Amino acid sequence: MSGMTPSAASLYDRVQRVIPAIEWPVFSDDIDAILRLKRERNAVILAHNYQTPEIFHCVADIVGDSLALARKAMEVEADVIVLAGVHFMAETAKLLNPSKTVLIPDMGAGCSLADSITPEDIRLLRQRYPGVPVVTYVNTSAAVKAESDICCTSGNAKAVVESLGVPRVLMLPDEYLAQNIAAQTEVEIIAWKGHCEVHERFTPEDIREMRAAHPGVTVLAHPECPPEVVAEADFAGSTAAMSDYVGREKPARVVLVTECSMSDNVAVDHPDVEFIRPCNLCPHMKLITLGNIRAALEHNRHAVTIDPAVAARARLAVERMLAV
């Protein structure tokens, strides 16, 4: 471990269970540079739960699921926000902080859900279902949010749907999230056909095989998984709810049926829990690295911009959600 700067060295203690010592020198130089650049630029880094541990635990100031990042983005006291996550998250941060510079280290960090629906699709759905409110998952572009009545996340979708006081809603674009919420509420939910490319790959057989291979394992699934997968799980919830579950229930063995990095990030705080790690990577989340976070701060790239007319309407849908 020679050659590490003192600040990176002090951070390594925290992540040594999930980052092998041999890999650390690759990260430490960028970590020290990022810590310095954050001070120089009065910048904060917001990181999603699916970011790798050297980002999540070593350079991020605020971490969480989409809902937490959206909420905390509003309270940020900084000139610059770097969003270590995917593009729709950076747009949401910009919507809530229009006067701040919001940077995303790689413009190509998209999302299969966000790509599954366009503003035009929503306008057509409104013609087909007149008067039915449109609830849009935050995993969408600002232009799609602008066509919506209210946003939701996997953490608050049921509460948002029920807050509207109507018998029927359109819930877009995640078909599985819509079906999983429909199973928990009296409100009729009309779904779209979007899927998360990470969660749609899990199958009920995967869960049964994990239970057979790891007796006694507690299975926590994300509600973007197909309903047949959620039915096989012991608990379904957002990444924040999964993390809370592990902290509260302290299962001896657990599997988080979601993106790979989530287990590494939660494992850091729970040395007594054995994590079984099926690995489905989100290729978009993995485009964000320490190297491009550093470059983002050094070169002020890539600044997120949103057409002001679109932003005003999209912000309303996000703010309505945050008020629920």
| Residue positions forming the annotated binding site for [4Fe-4S] cluster | 111, 196, 282
Shortest Å, Cβ 65 to ligand SF4: 10
Tokens for 181? 């919420």
Nearer to ligand SF4, 197 or 234 (CB): 197
> What x-and-dash track marks residues 43-62 binding ligand SF4 by CB under 6 A?
-------x------------
> What x-and-dash track marks residues 239-278 binding ligand SF4 by CB under 6 A?
--------------------x-------------------
Cis peptide before 222 (omega within 30 of 0): no
Cα–Cα distance, 272 to 250 (Å, whole number): 8
**Cα–chain-centroid distance for residue 44?**
17
Cα–Cα distance, 57 to 61 (Å, whole number): 9
Cα–Cα distance, 192 to 198 (Å, whole number): 18
What are residue 30's DSSP bridge partners?
none
Nearer to ligand SF4, 260 or 318 (CB): 260
| Radius of gyration (C-alpha) of the chain in whole angstroms | 20
Nearer to ligand SF4, 187 or 260 (CB): 260
Using CB under 6 A, which residues numbered 174 to 233 contact ligand SF4? 196-198
Counting contacts by CB under 6 A, is residue 86 touching ligand SF4?
yes
Bind-site residues: 48, 66, 111, 137-139, 154, 196, 222-224, 239, 282
Among 170, 242, 285, 311, binds ligand SF4 (CB under 6 A): 285
Using the 8-state DSSP alphabet, how is residue 4 labeled? -
Counting contacts by CB under 6 A, is residue 138 touching ligand SF4?
no
Tokens for 158? 């049921």
Shortest Å, Cβ 236 to ligand SF4: 15
Residue 132 in 3-state DSSP? coil
Among 49, 51, 92, 112, binds ligand SF4 (CB under 6 A): 112
Shortest Å, Cβ 86 to ligand SF4: 4
Cβ neighbours for 114, distance < 8 A, ≥ 6 positions apart: 86, 87, 88, 139, 140, 141, 144, 173
**Cα–chain-centroid distance for residue 272?**
25
Shortest Å, Cβ 125 to ligand SF4: 21
The site for ligand SF4 (CB under 6 A) is made up of: 50, 86, 111-113, 139, 196-198, 259, 282, 284-285
